[in-house]
Amino acid sequence: MEKDTKKINVLLVDDEEKFVTNVSKLLKSRDFEVEIAFDGFHAIEILHEKSVFDVVVLDVKMPKMDGITALKTIKKCFPKIEVIMLTGHAKLESGIQAIREGAFDYLMKPCDIEDLSAKIREAYEVESIKKQPVLWPRKRVYELIHYNYDKLKPDDYLIDALNIFNKGANIDIIYIVDKNDMLLGCVTKRILINEAKGTSPEHSITWDQLCKTKDYLPQKRLSEIMLANIPYTLPEEPLSKAAHKMIENKLRTMPVIRHGKTMGVVQLQDIFFHMER
What does the CA dihedral 16, 20, 23, 25 come to, rounded to 10 degrees?
A: -140
The predicted-structure confidence for 30-83, as pLDDT tens digits, reads as follows: 999 999 999 999 999 999 999 899 999 999 999 889 899 999 999 999 998 999
Q: Using one digit for the tens of pLDDT, what is the confidence trace for 128-169?
A: 444 444 446 788 999 999 999 999 999 999 999 999 999 876
Topology classification of domain 141-274: CBS-domain (3.10.580)
**pTM attached to this predicted model:** 0.74
Type of residue found at 243: A
Task: Identify any residues that bridge with 59 across adjacent strands, giving them in sequence order.
Answer: 86
- Whether the link from the prior residue into 110 is cis, omega within 30° of 0, is yes
179 Cβ contact partners less than 8 Å away, ≥ 6 residues apart: 153
In terms of DSSP bridges, do strands 151-152 and 105-108 run parallel, antiparallel, or are they unpaired? unpaired
Determine how many CB atoms are found less than 10 A away from the CB of residue 47: 22
Spatial contact of 115 and 26, defined as CB atoms under 8 Å apart: no
Quick one: how many helices (H) and strands (E) in the chain?
Answer: 12, 10
Domain at 2-126, CATH from 3.40.50.620, 3.40.50.300, 3.30.950.10, 3.40.50.2300: 3.40.50.2300
Give the residues across from 85 on adjacent strands: 58, 106
